Structures are given as C-alpha cells and as structure tokens.
Structure 1
C-alpha cells in the first residue's frame, strides 16, 4: 500500500492538493496518473482513500473517496532522550521507535550532553517517513529540545509512571518490573556520558523511579529502543 501524509485533511475534506515535493514524487517517481488511487493519512488516526484528479507535478489534485479510522496505541509512551553526538543515531532511534509504537519524543539537554542543537525540521521528516513506511496513522509528537531540569519539573510529567534509566551502580529496579499495562509512562534516557549524579538525584526527588534496562551497557539510542520495545511488549 502506498501511503502519503498531509496534516491538512479531515473527515470533511473533498479534495486536496499536494505540495510540490509530494506532487513530484506522485507524478514523476511513482508515475501515477488520473484515476489512480492511493491512501493518505493526516497523522491523527485516519486513513483516506484518494483518487488522482489532476496529475500535475507542481500540485497534484486528488479527491477523497472514503475515510477509515485506525485504533490508537493501547498505551501512551513518552521518551525524553538526550540527542546523540552523531545525529544519524538519534534519527535511527526516532525511525525505529515510530515503527514499534511511541506517542511522544522530547530531546533533553543534560549535563553531559555533547550535542545541544537539534534539527527539528529534519527530525519531523524522519518521523513522517517512518510513519508512512510502517503504515501507521498516528504521527508521534516531537517536542522542542528542553533542559533536563525543565522537563523533569514540567506539567508533562504529571499523572504518569515516571522512570529514569541510568548506568550508575545504585539501587535500581528492572524497567519491566515497574511497567503497568495501559498506563501512561515517561522514560528518561541520558546522553553518551550518562546522567550526572545530580540529575539522577533531582529526578528521584521529582518522583522518577531509577530503572535498569539489563546487564549490558547500552548506547543512548539502543537504550531508548529497548525501553520503547519493553513498553510495547508489556501492552501486547
């Protein structure tokens, strides 16, 4: 199934025109013509069957035939993870997390962070591409980068099971042992140098449970994927 994304489509839409980039892909790359059909998602839970009316590579016009609503995830997972030194590793995490199932991502800037500037526009494209490739109708929310302390004390962390995964040899619980099916969960994943001791203590005083993801020492992006899969697995 060929899936396209446009946020500006709703149940009341009759026709839509794709932007130049998507139009060129539809007409020049996929060689679609008048009468051909494909699916569109708005990233908010709906699939739309569409038919090409005008195969214009500068503005492909389609009519909406029908709508189908996809069931949302049975859980809400928000991973706040420090940007990695190598950008492609963070992009890999976002791609795979979208395929597995994640609700929200927040880049957090920590004491040991080596990368403190992110490319939000590129990250959004990574998420959109992964959503389309995995045939999902929900686009994960990507938040602006924020400092560790500002995130930990923000309203986003209320009414959630809150965990911080770190590598320090202190008292920690297994992530799988604290997860609760259907419960909204937030998991903090630190940078290559891990969280500082001060950050770990600050998170604990803010209600975050220290957890371990296993015996192996994991890279930032690997730890984030392990956490994502653990939450998805317990909710199957």
Structure 2
C-alpha cells in the first residue's frame, strides 16, 4: 500500500492534488503512473483509496474512489507527559515507536531535573508523520508544546483521566496495569534522566496521581515511556 499523509483532504472531495513534496515522492521516487492506486490519510481517522489521474512531479492529481472514516479508531486515550531526553534522538525514537504501537497525545514535560528545556515541534512532528505512514495509522497523535511540570498539573487538575506517575523513589506502588481500567482516558507522567524531584512527586500525589512501577529494572526515560505505551495497548487489546 502506497500511503500519503494529506491533512487538507476532506471526505467529500472527488479529486485531490498532492503537495509538491508528496508528488515528487510519488512520481520521482516511487515512479507511479496513470491508473496506479494509492491511499491517503488525513490524520483524523480518514483513509482514502485513490487513483492517479495526472502523474505530475509537482502537483499529482488523484481521483478519490472510496473513503473510510474512523479507520482503526482507538477505544482509549493515552496521554504521556514525558521529559525530553538530553539526547534528542532517544526522544525521537520514543515518538516513532509509540506512534507505531498506538498513542493519542504526547506532552514534552520540563521538570526540575530536566537536562533539555526545549524541543523543536516541527522536527518531532515529521518523525510522527513518518511513523504513521510506516504503521498505516489513520490518526496522528497530538504533540503539545513543551510545558513545565507545574503548569501541566494545573492544566489537568479537573480531568476525568486515570492519572499516574512513574518515579524511582522507594515507596509503595502498584504496577501500571493494576491501576488502569480498559477503554478509558489515561495520563502517565515520565520524568527526566534524574527522575522527578521530591517536590514534584509530592505535588502529583496531592493532585490525585497514583504512583506506579514499571518493573524492577531502572529504565531510561524513553524506555519507561514506551513501556507504559505497550502496557496500555495490551490492556486495551480486543
């Protein structure tokens, strides 16, 4: 399946023109021709079956043959707020793999012990888009701007989500799958390489976040975030 990401397309479109970048990839790289079939996705659950009418390398024209809305719609909503790693490649790896597995929302979290204080959303969104094309996902995860730990907690104070925080401090904890219920909305907080501060942990617990363990091993930030993603996906597997 040749898949192209096209946010601008709508379910009522009869024809569509690919962007210059996607047109070049379709014609120059994939060497698609008149009559060849392709699929488009809009990132909002729409999967479009189309056929090439005019294989122009700058403005390839397609005719839309069929539309599936709410394609592979998830039964849950997972929001992972995770501190970006000092090595941004590791954070990009997490975004790629989490998108392939299934995640709905990511917030880069700036904490007291964070070694990275900013991220480039344009670059990270390109990683996500590449991952949804690779894994045939019709929904693009929402990547929020980076935000401080305190501000994030304030934003989510009145949410109905099941809220959890993974930290390394010795205390009584349950495994993530022991505190989750299938087909719900979840928030998982994952700290930086130096873990959350004592103040941040106390603040989260006061605001209703449940302390969780992801196992006996001490995991890297990106590994902990991906482990959470996997556990939630398995919990909600039909």
Instruction: Please state which band the TM-score falls in when normalised by the shorter chain.
Output: over 0.9
Change in 2 beyond 3 A, CA 1:40/1:21 = same
Q: SS of 1:153's equivalent?
A: helix
**Greater shift after overlay, 168-177 or 194-203?**
168-177
Which residue number corresponds to residue 181 of structure 1? 182
With the length of structure 1 as denominator, give the TM-score of the two structures: 0.97
**Greater shift after overlay, 15-24 or 82-91?**
15-24
Q: SS of 1:188's equivalent?
A: strand
CA offset digits 1:149-195 (Å, max 9, x no partner): 10011047601000000011122221111011111100000011110
**Greater shift after overlay, 56-65 or 206-215?**
56-65
How far has the Cα of 1:115 moved from its partner?
0.7
Unaligned runs of 5+ in 1: none
Would you say how many aligned residue pairs link Structure 1 and Structure 2?
Answer: 236
Unaligned runs of 5+ in 2: none
Change in 2 beyond 3 A, CA 1:175/1:193 = same
How far has the Cα of 1:71 moved from its partner?
3.3
CA RMSD of aligned residues (A): 1.1
Q: SS of 2:160's equivalent?
A: coil
**Greater shift after overlay, 81-90 or 156-165?**
156-165
How far has the Cα of 1:9 moved from its partner?
1.0
With the length of structure 2 as denominator, give the TM-score of the two structures: 0.97
CA offset digits 1:61-114 (Å, max 9, x no partner): 111111013131111100000000101100110111011111100001000111
Contact 1:153 1:206 in 2 (8 A): no
Which residue number corresponds to residue 30 of structure 1? 30
Which residue number corresponds to residue 113 of structure 1? 114
Give the alignment of 1:1-236 within 5 angstroms. 1-69=1-69, 70-155=71-156, 158-236=159-237
Task: Return structure 1 stretches of 4+ with deviation > 4 angstroms.
Answer: none
Contact 1:157 1:186 in 2 (8 A): no
Change in 2 beyond 3 A, CA 1:157/1:6 = farther
